């Protein structure tokens, strides 16, 4: 067989690969649809949502969760491409935790110490720790599949950041249901729920994203 004929034959047999950016975008859209289906089928928005949207604490939850999803997406697109510097995205990922830290400090100044424990424990912590990881599984699985279109040099880290993206998507939906709006609650229980997803993403990334 001639060399040109061999190249053509190999090209025809090679699997079709999506551009990484398009694959990640499709995974996020598909994952959001899956998570939303679980959300609306299982819990839905809180009954007093019309009153809640008039409060800063309720709206601020979405600022934090969307900041996490957006910054983690930017980082993961760089992690999946070997040799591409992470640049400012590694620092942008700090936006969500910094927002939470500032909000907790403001809450401590605004609210009496006697109310801190109640606001921290909240009323929905078990649901938070359960539903965010459950709703994040679909987005995480699709993101890991999309990342196989790239070549992450650190598969565990790429899987962990995929977990952050998936958590951001799931937490944004869950925030519409959660009756606990205090930054104390969000900083504690949303973070723990995100940690569960990140751990799953790390382990899955090490297994499924290796070259």
pLDDT at 17: 62
| Burial class of 13 by CB neighbour count within 10 A (0 to 12, 13 to 18, 19+) | exposed
> pLDDT tens digit string along 133-155?
999 999 999 999 999 888 788 89
Indicate the pTM of the whole model.
Answer: 0.88
Contact 158, 79 (CB under 8 A): yes
> pLDDT tens digit string along 2-18?
455 544 454 454 455 66
Q: Is the per-residue pLDDT at 206 higher than 50?
A: yes
pLDDT at 7: 42
Question: What DSSP character marks residue 114?
Answer: G
**Average pLDDT score, the chain:** 89
Q: Is the per-residue pLDDT at 158 higher than 60?
A: yes
């Amino acid at each position: 067989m001639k060399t040109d004929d061999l190249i053509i034959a190999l090209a025809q047999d090679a699997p079709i690969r999506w551009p990484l950016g398009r694959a990640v975008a499709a995974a996020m859209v598909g994952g959001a649809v899956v998570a939303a289906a679980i959300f609306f089928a299982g819990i839905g928005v809180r009954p007093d949502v019309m009153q809640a949207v008039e409060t800063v604490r309720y709206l601020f939850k979405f600022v934090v969760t969307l900041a996490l999803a957006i910054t983690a997406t930017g980082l993961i697109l760089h992690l999946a491409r070997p040799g591409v510097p992470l640049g400012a995205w590694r620092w942008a990922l700090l936006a969500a935790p910094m927002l939470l830290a500032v909000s907790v400090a403001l809450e401590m100044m605004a609210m009496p110490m006697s109310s801190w424990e109640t606001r921290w424990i909240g009323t929905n912590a078990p649901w938070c720790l359960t539903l965010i990881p459950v709703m994040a599984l679909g987005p995480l699985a699709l993101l890991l599949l999309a990342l196989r279109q790239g070549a992450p040099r650190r598969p565990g880290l790429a899987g962990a950041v995929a977990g952050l993206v998936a958590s951001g998507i799931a937490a944004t939906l869950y925030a519409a249901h959660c009756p606990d709006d205090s930054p104390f609650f969000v900083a504690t229980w949303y973070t723990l729920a995100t940690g569960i997803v990140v751990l799953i993403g790390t382990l899955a990334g090490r297994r499924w994203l290796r070259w």
